[in-house]
A and B are shown apart, each in its own frame.
Chain A
Amino acid sequence: MRIELVKRSQHSTFFALASPFIAFALTLIAGAILFAAIGKSPLTGLYLYFVEPLTQLWSVHELAVKAGPLIMIAVGLSVCYRSNNWNIGAEGQFIAGAILGSAIPILMPGFQNFLTLPLMLLLAMAGGALYAGIPAYLKARFNANEILTSLMLVYVAQLFLDWLVRGPWRNPQGYSFPGSIRFPDAATLPEIFPSQGAAHYGFVLALIAAIAVWFFLSRTLKGFEVRVLGASPRAGRFAGFSTKGMIFLSFMLSGALAGLAGIAEVSGAIGQLREVISPGYGFTAIIVAFLGRLNPLGAIVAGLLLALTYLGGEAAQISLGISDKVVRVFQGMLLFFVLACDTLIHYRVRFVTAISGEARNA
């Protein structure tokens, strides 16, 4: 038996909407098989992963804490990928933003007023945008592959952060543990409902970013440029749109959002700069962007779902003793299924048996 793709004369609206859901359903099935394979009850496993975290208020708050950075980064990546610019170094831009934003509370601990936090956020966005500007410049000017350069810069950013928090920015009173001073209140992103849980305003910022970028993409001329240059660079050039300008715009926008996510995480959730500040948000956000079908509003739903897998992973580790590494397997499988299901939008899949194939050839 063989699988053949037949191009649809028109892309399927049904599958455009349904493909993320089909992908998720397939991931659940594959997940159940995975649980069974490691000798755990599939139903309990899936319940722990996808339902249990939603049953308690504090863990709903945790969901918002984890979904915030995922949504914020994925929204920027959606713009990038739509315009055919492959920024996969969001993890590095996240760190660059966190570092530059943290410079204020660490280097100027006395500067504490209503301006502290807004300045930190702005600096972080600038940091992320500039760091993303490096692969953008190298692509626009030298034609260097942005996938590889942006990814290499992730490792560089991680090592630089490691040096900072062990060297010049280490807390002198920290018993020689790596890590900066704890941020003062004026430099801390406040919690939304402090009496109920840990969710901080980073989540609100992420929602605002998603709506703003959705408006930009679907309602402005520049947003139209993004879509045209992504779908058909040739058509875009004939329309007089600048490919190089788009490289910078998409990279720096996604870098700024990743940087903002970085400072929101450090200032809202962690409270200090550490040698590791992200459980791979920058990479997971790639999955979020695709699961949201490269639509900023879709990224909100997808971000919440992926955040759920992080929490579910913790829950399953505590109650079933399943390794938290399973989370990454889940996330990887999900992206596979999403990509496979997206094919259904443009193609019909036909299963050809040997006999019918021969009959056709005859």
Chain B
Amino acid sequence: MLENILLTIATAATPLLLAAIGELVVERSGVLNLGVEGIMIMGAVTGFAVSLSTGNPWLGLIAATIAGALFSQLFAFLVITIATNQVATGLSLTLLGIGLSGMIGESFVGQPGVKLPTLDIPILSDLPVVGKLLFAQDPLFYLSIVLVFAVMWFLFRTRTGLTLRSIGDNHTSAHALGISVHKYRYFAVMFGGACGGMAGAHLTLVYTSQWIENMSAGRGWIALALVVFASWRPLRVLLGAYLFGAITIVQLHIQATNLRDLESLPAPLYWLAEIVKSIPSQFLSSLPYLATILVLVIISSNRRLTLINTPASLGRPFVPDR
């Protein structure tokens, strides 16, 4: 049972991790994209639609990634070229995404979809305990882990990454040095969009194999909170995503467990289980959201830490003087 829980934690954490690592790069470039939720849900519906009509979940995944990248360019054009308010524009991307995906997905409600196969890595997946956990997962799991380290390497070990961070910290100076702020930001937003699209595809191709309207259920927003929680550091995003995955899965398991199956437990443990099971399911379901608030409070209350790590130009529009 424990192995089962651990397996599903990875499944719950992967979409959060994908969306958050993409948004981390976007925010490092100084752009706050509140449209993650909208991008994710567009990825989810595109992934479902394409894999259903072609019968090939891989094509669905690719299409979702492209859809996320393209959809994010709408936001990029407005906040970068037209210099609109980033908060409001991100929100409208989310509203539009929820609307569009609902419209596109209407005919898919209730249809059985296709799942991405798990990729068992030979030999390693036969290892006891960790084998199933680390080496017999869905392809997006591996990709999300690889992405974390790739982003880490890119941001802190390459020249382009350094430039990107400098733009996020001071776009005026970067511009004065002759760096194309707009170009970097367009690419950062596109990368974030592609990651968001993949995160969405995970929901319809791995997590479940169906389309439900509004199925991202705030995961895009939790991903945004994760970036703050991680104080804009890739490894901490990994930690945060798994923490949230754990909260989600543990509360789901509590909801699904039957008290009668636990009668063999020693008395004190059984009493504890009884108390936990008496909590209404709605309260358990709200745990991930409450946890998000809690971690935001804990991280943000340390003002020095936030000040040091927050990209200084985050959320500020940039219009170059000519």
Contact = CB atoms under 8 A, between A and B. Distances in A.
B221 A148 contact: yes
Nearest to A143: B300
Nearest to A336: B92
A156 interface: yes
B56 interface: no
B108 to A, nearest CB: 12
Nearest to B95: A332
A339 interface: yes
Interface in B48-100: 74, 78, 81-85, 87-89, 91-93, 95-100
B280 A144 contact: no
Contact of A339 (B88, B225, B282, B322): B88
Interface stretch (B163-171, B193-201, B284-292): B284-292
A312 to B, nearest CB: 14
B95 A342 contact: no
Given A147-B87, A148-B228, A167 B280 contact: yes
B78 A159 contact: no
B102 A147 contact: no
A324 to B, nearest CB: 9
A13 to B, nearest CB: 20
Q: Which of B98, B103, B221, B225 has the most CB of A within 10 A?
A: B103
B293 interface: yes
A343 B82 contact: yes
A340 B297 contact: no
A151 B36 CA distance: 14
B74 A336 contact: yes
A215 to B, nearest CB: 25
A339 B85 contact: yes
B218 interface: yes
A6 B217 CA distance: 40
Interface of A is mostly: helix
Nearest to A286: B91
Contacts of A156: 286, 289-290
Interface string A154-173: 01100110110001000000
Interface in A102-145: 138, 141-145
Contacts of A286: 88, 91, 95
A151 B219 CA distance: 12
A153 to B, nearest CB: 7
A154 to B, nearest CB: 8
Contacts of B301: 141-144
Contacts of A160: 282, 286
A332 B99 contact: yes
Contact of B218 (A151, A163, A332, A342): A151
Contacts of B290: 152, 156
Given A323-B106, A332-B96, A343-B82, A152 B293 contact: yes
B92 A347 contact: no
A234 interface: no
A148 B83 contact: no
Nearest to B100: A329
B262 to A, nearest CB: 23
Main secondary structure of the interface of B (DSSP, over half): helix
B303 interface: yes
B319 interface: yes
Nearest to A283: B95
B306 interface: yes
Interface in A70-99: 81, 86, 88
B224 interface: yes
B225 A148 contact: yes
B213 to A, nearest CB: 8
A245 to B, nearest CB: 19
A294 to B, nearest CB: 10
A328 interface: yes
Contact of A329 (B99, B280, B297): B99
Nearest to B34: A147
Given A143-B303, A144-B296, A163-B283, A342 B224 contact: no
Which of B92, B290, B300 is the most central at the interface, judged by chain A CB atoms within 10 Å of its CB?
B92
Contacts of B96: 328-329, 332-333, 335-336
B103 A339 contact: no
Contact of B88 (A7, A138, A155, A290): A290
A347 B84 CA distance: 11
Contact of B296 (A141, A149, A155): A149
A230 B103 CA distance: 37
Contacts of B106: 323, 325
Contacts of A138: 293, 296-297
Nearest to A138: B297
13 contacts: A143-B301, A144-B297, A145-B296, A148-B293, A148-B296, A152-B292, A156-B286, A159-B283, A323-B106, A325-B106, A326-B103, A328-B98, A332-B97
Interface of B: 34, 74, 78, 81-85, 87-89, 91-93, 95-100, 102-103, 106, 217-218, 221, 224-225, 228, 280, 282-283, 285-286, 289-290, 292-293, 296-297, 300-301, 303, 306, 319, 322
Given A153-B289, A332-B97, 19 more contacts: A144-B297, A145-B296, A147-B34, A147-B87, A148-B296, A149-B297, A152-B218, A152-B225, A153-B293, A156-B289, A323-B103, A328-B103, A332-B93, A339-B84, A339-B88, A340-B78, A347-B83, A347-B319, A349-B82
